[in-house]
Structure 1
Amino acid sequence: MESMKPLVLSKVVENDLCIGCGACVQTCPSKALNVDWNSYGFLIATSNENQCDEGGSCIEVCPFNPEPGPGYKNEDGLAADFLAEAPNYHLQMGRYHALYVGYSHKHRVTSSSGGVATFVYEKLFDKGLIDHVVTVGESKPSNAHYQYKIVSNKNDLLSISKTRYHPVTLATALQEIKQLEGRVAISGIGCFIKAIRLAQDKDPVLKDKIAFLVGIICGGVKSKFFTDYLAGRAGATLDDFSNPEYRVKEPSSTAIDYGFSCTDNPSKTTKLIKMREVGDMWGSGLFKANACDFCDDVTTELADISLGDAWLKPYNQDGSGHNVIISRSNIADQILHDGLKSGELDLEYLSQEQFLASQQGSFNHRHDGMSTRLALVKGDGYVVPPKRIEKIDLPIYLKLVQRLRRHTRSRSLEVWAEYKDPVEFDRRMKVELLKLKLATRLSHAVRKAKKVSGTKS
Structure 2
Amino acid sequence: MSIDLIVKNNLCTGCGVCISEDQSRQAKMVWNKEGFLIPLLGENSTQEEMIKVCPFAIQQKNEDELGDIFLKQSDAQYYDRIGYYHGLYAGFSNQFRKTSSSGGIATYIFKTLLEKKIVDYLFIVKEINGVYAYQFFSDIEEITKISKTRYTPVTLENLFNEISKIEGKVAISGVACFVKAIRLKQLSDPALKEKIAFIVGIICGGLKSRYYTDYLAQEAGCRNGYSHAQYRVKNEESYALDYNFSCIEKTSKRIHMVDMQSLGDMWGTGLFKSNACDFCDDVLTELADISLGDAWIHPYDKSGLGNSIVITRTKIAENLIQNGLNQNFLTLDKVTVEKILLSQNGSFNHRHKGLLYRTIQASKRGTKIPEKRQRYLNKQNIFFNLVQNSRLKTRQNSLDSWLETKDSLKFKIKMKPHLANLKFFTLWNHRIMKLKKIILSKKDA
TM tier, shorter chain?
over 0.9
* Counterpart mapping for 1:30-429 below 5 A: 30-48=24-42, 50-54=43-47, 56-65=48-57, 67-68=58-59, 72-85=60-73, 87-140=76-129, 145-238=131-224, 240-390=225-375, 391-429=377-415
Say whether 1:29 aligns with 2:14.
Answer: no
Q: Residue by residue, what CA displacement relative to the aligned partner does 1:395-454 show, whole Å, maximum 9, x if unpaired? A: 110000000000000010011011100000000000000000111111111111211221
The question of whether the paired residues in 2 share the 8 Å contact of 1:178 and 1:206 is answered with no
Per-residue deviation, 1:98: 1.0
For residues 194-240 of structure 1, the C-alpha deviation after alignment (integer angstroms, 9 at most, x for no partner) is 000000110133222100000000000000010000000110024x1
Q: Give 1:156 shift.
A: 2.4
Alpha-carbon distance, 1:354 to partner:
1.0
Counterpart secondary structure, 2:390: helix
3-state SS in 2 of match to 1:157: helix
**Contact 1:296–1:389 (8 Å) recurs in 2:** no
Which whole-Å CA distance do the structure 1 matches of 2:331 and 2:46 have between them? Answer: 53
Q: Residue 12 of structure 2 is aligned with which of 18, 21, 44?
A: 18
Secondary structure of 1:356's aligned partner: helix
| Runs (5+) with no aligned partner, structure 2 | none
CA distance, structure 1, for counterparts of residue 374 and residue 245 of structure 2: 35
Q: Is the 8 A contact 2:247 2:256 kept in 1?
A: yes
Distance 1:133 1:53, change over 3 A: closer
Amino acid at match of 1:80: D
Report which stretch shifted further, 185-194 or 80-89: 80-89
Q: Is the 8 A contact 1:187 1:213 kept in 2?
A: yes
Residues 114 and 138, structure 2, Cα contact 8 Å, conserved in 1: no
State the Cα RMSD in Å.
1.4
Q: How many residues align?
A: 440
Partner of residue 3, structure 2: 8
Amino acid at match of 1:164: R
Determine if contact 1:134/1:186 at 8 Å carries over to the other structure.
Answer: yes
**5+ long unaligned stretches in structure 1:** 1-5
Judging changes above 3 Å, is the alpha-carbon distance between structure 1 residues 167 and 53 closer, same or farther for their aligned structure 2 residues? closer
Identify if the C-alpha distance between structure 1 residues 432 and 402 changes in structure 2 by more than 3 Å, giving closer, same or farther. Answer: same
Could you tell me the percent identity over the aligned residues? 46
Per the normalisation by structure 1, the TM-score is 0.94
Partner secondary structure for residue 165 of structure 2: coil
1:176-209 per-residue CA deviation (whole Å, 9 max, x = no partner) reads: 1121110000000000000000001101332221
Show the counterpart of 1:3.
none
Matched to 2:84, the amino acid is R
Show CA shifts across 1:108-142 (max 9, x none): 011000000110111111211100001111145xx
Aligned to 2:417: 431
Give distance in 2, aligned partners of 1:206 and 1:156. Answer: 27
Residue 33 of structure 1 deviates from its aligned partner by: 1.4
